[in-house]
Structure 1
Amino acid sequence: MARIGVENGLTDVAEALRQQGHEVVELHNENDANGCDCCVVTGSESNVMGIMDTTTKNPILTAAGYTADELCQQVSQHINQQ
């Protein structure tokens, strides 16, 4: 399955993604996003840890306003498009 970066604090999202078989990487800084197929961040800051400044073609999803299940669906959609 895919390698998904998840910002620290999104435990429910990380667990749901693991249950779907994805490899989950905790995001502590922008370097942690390297090699991830997709990243999920809280959205509490406009540019969390500089991740949105990194040169990446992979999607960065904002968790604000979504349930863990909804985010898993979004991740699956983005992974299937790649």
Structure 2
Amino acid sequence: MDVKIAVEDNLSAFASYLQNKGFEVNIVDSPGSAPLNDYDAVVVSGHSNNFLNMQNTSTTAPVIDASGLTDEQIYQRIKRVLES
């Protein structure tokens, strides 16, 4: 089974990094453009407390805040949440 990761649109460079690591990555660029529960993890930039202007967004997928982290650090966090 492929691991599916949703990435906030302003992290498109990181999306390419994850694709090179073998993940299926979708860039989420507008409210409702993708049901977040369909993903194994969601990566956000952390610049907004209101992800994609959806005030009551809820997901069972782990949400990873990428702010202040390198691509490798984010990747390691994704691996940790997928292993748990």
Per the shorter chain, which TM-score range?
0.7 to 0.9
CA contact (8 A) 2:51 2:57 kept: no
Q: In structure 1, the residue corresponding to 2:10 is in which secondary structure?
A: coil
Q: Does 1:7 align with 2:8?
A: yes
Q: Deviations over 1:60-80 (max 9, x none)?
A: 111110011110110111111
Equivalent residue, structure 2, for 1:19: 20
Give the aligned partner of residue 56 of structure 1. Answer: 59
SS at match of 2:39: coil
d(CA) in 1 for partners of 2:62 and 2:50? 14
* Structure whose CA Rg is larger: 2
Query: Aligned residue for 2:76?
Result: 73
| CA RMSD after TM alignment | 1.6
TM-score, scaled to structure 2: 0.83
How far apart, in 2, do the equivalents of 1:75 and 1:30 lie? 23
TM-score normalized by the length of structure 1 = 0.84
Deviation of 1:30 after TM superposition, in Å, equals: 4.4
Within the candidate set 29, 41, 44, 2:44 is matched to 41
In the alignment, structure 2 segments of 5+ residues that lack a partner are none
After the TM superposition, which parts of structure 1 deviate over 3 Å for at least 4 consecutive aligned residues?
none
